[in-house]
Amino acid sequence: MTRAPDAVEIAPGTHWIGALDPALREFDIILKTANGTTYNSYCVRGSDGVAIIDTVKAAHADEFFKRLEQVARYDEISVIVLNHLEPDHSGALPELMRRAPQAKLYISAKAQLMLKALVRVANLEYNVVQTGDHVSLGDRTLRFFSTPFLHWPDTQCTLIEEQGILFSGDVFGCHFCDARLFNDKVGDFRFSFEYYYQHIMRPFREYVLEALSLLEPLEPKLIAPAHGPILRDAPQSYMQRYRQLAAPLLHNEAGANTKSLLVFYISSYGNTALMAQAVAEGAETEEGVRVSLYDLQSSGDLPFVDLIEEADGIAFGSPTINGDAVKPVWDLLSSLALIKVSDKLGAAFGSYGWSGEAINMIEDRLRGLKLRVPVKGVRARLIPTEEELGKCRDLGKQLAQHLTGNIERRVISMTDLLTQEQAHA
């Protein structure tokens, strides 16, 4: 169902003037789009002005301008609102500004940087708005709500107060192209709504909850997102679904005062497995830490991603093969882009034959994901000695102590420092 419609009135005075992209099969490299997508743009006519809310990807600008011209003249446009500056919504903006030079542009404070990079004109004029600010179109009022990190720092939503129409940007959107446009007319798009949330919004769960606290009291009668179906049937059920999706998936059964440490390992000859066992044993000696041990050899990543999202610390054990950590470890590490991990502690360990690079590489990756790596990793050549297993127990113990906050502070005396300096002289 992808026959392109003309501009479509979604509520009195407000038209959808976006573009359909049914052939798209991959968005931003990382998202699969089995049903293509839409770039939704809207035209709002008030008694004293016309507003355009968002534009479309540059390649689809002709389609957008054709629909716009069906419902408004360029010289009538007094307001342009960009809820989000990613190019799929701002691609036609420079041309729209050229055709409607009198229109005033409204963006969030964080969007300024992007705007200047997108619209390369001198003395660019625009208005910065934040939650509570509004602009009048006579009998229609556009009110702005800052919803940062859903999913860029710049994102905001815009409400037509008198009609309860919420233009929500990427929030409550999905990649699903169906020319019937409305959620009560299009095919079943639930899988796409969930997939979009998991891949775009999930890493920003705390911001989702903040945004919901701002948007739920508005009780919108219609939600008009920037992608996918327009939500006119039970719009608030989509907010409720976001609240469910943003809730912790797994509850810490060990109690709110217990920290959770997950130790993942994979082992060719059982040596890294021995080290993992020792790390877990060491961590278990610390009160108030629940330790879980998992073999990555025969398990998928997704259940572990859910576990990691709720954990306080994660340790990875990998052998070094051809100068690298092994693929199951990298697969799980790359899946962590789906969740927030920056508040966690990390560690690495592993057995190796010749070079042992895996440990540093894993530590670097953990730091790259903004985890804190408070304890230096442990490497052991082939079969770990008792001393090396002792170091693994220490690693587990210290990591657990960092989690509980019971870490012993090292006191370095001036004599120690002077001795070290002399040794390096």
Q: What letter does residue 219 receive in the DSSP assignment? A: -
Answer for which of 45, 89, 232, 365 binds ligand FEO (CB under 6 A) is: 89
Which x/- pattern, by CB under 6 A, does the window 112-151 give for ligand FEO? Answer: ---------------------------------------x
Determine, following the binding rule CB under 6 A, whether residue 201 of this chain makes contact with ligand FEO: no
Determine, following the binding rule CB under 6 A, whether residue 84 of this chain makes contact with ligand FEO: yes
The footprint of ligand FEO on this chain (CB under 6 A) covers a number of residues equal to 9
**Smallest distance, ligand FEO to C-beta of residue 85, A:** 9
Stretch that binds ligand FEO, among 72-80, 81-89, 183-191, 271-279 (CB under 6 A): 81-89
Alpha-carbon gap, residue 318 to 380, rounded angstroms: 11
Determine, following the binding rule CB under 6 A, whether residue 54 of this chain makes contact with ligand FEO: no
For residue 15, say if its preceding peptide bond is cis, omega within 30 degrees of 0: no
Answer for which of 21, 154, 170, 388 binds ligand FEO (CB under 6 A) is: 170
Three-state DSSP at 276 gives helix
Q: Give the residue among 349, 362, 344 at the shortest CA–CA distance from 402.
A: 344
Answer for which of 86, 178, 309, 388 binds ligand FEO (CB under 6 A) is: 86
**Residue 212 identity:** L
Q: Are 189 and 229 in contact (CB under 8 A)?
A: yes
Considering the complex, state which of residue 37 and residue 271 has its C-beta at the smaller distance from ligand FEO. 37
Determine, following the binding rule CB under 6 A, whether residue 154 of this chain makes contact with ligand FEO: no
Considering the complex, state which of residue 84 and residue 290 has its C-beta at the smaller distance from ligand FEO. 84
**Residue 383 identity:** I
Q: Give the residue among 366, 379, 268 at the shortest CA–CA distance from 321.
A: 268
Torsion of CA 44, 50, 51, 52, to 10 degrees: 80
Considering the complex, state which of residue 105 and residue 275 has its C-beta at the smaller distance from ligand FEO. 105
Give the residue at shortest CB distance from ligand FEO: 86
Alpha-carbon gap, residue 423 to 285, rounded angstroms: 36
Q: Give the residue among 2, 63, 192, 154 at the shortest CA–CA distance from 55.
A: 63
Q: Which two tokens stand for residue 383?
A: 């079969």
Q: Give the residue among 17, 20, 15 at the shortest CA–CA distance from 186.
A: 20
Stretch that binds ligand FEO, among 80-88, 255-263, 337-345, 396-404 (CB under 6 A): 80-88
Q: Are 85 and 126 in contact (CB under 8 A)?
A: no
**Smallest distance, ligand FEO to C-beta of residue 90, A:** 9
**Smallest distance, ligand FEO to C-beta of residue 149, A:** 11
Determine, following the binding rule CB under 6 A, whether residue 226 of this chain makes contact with ligand FEO: yes
The site for ligand FEO (CB under 6 A) is made up of: 84, 86, 88-89, 151-152, 170, 226-227
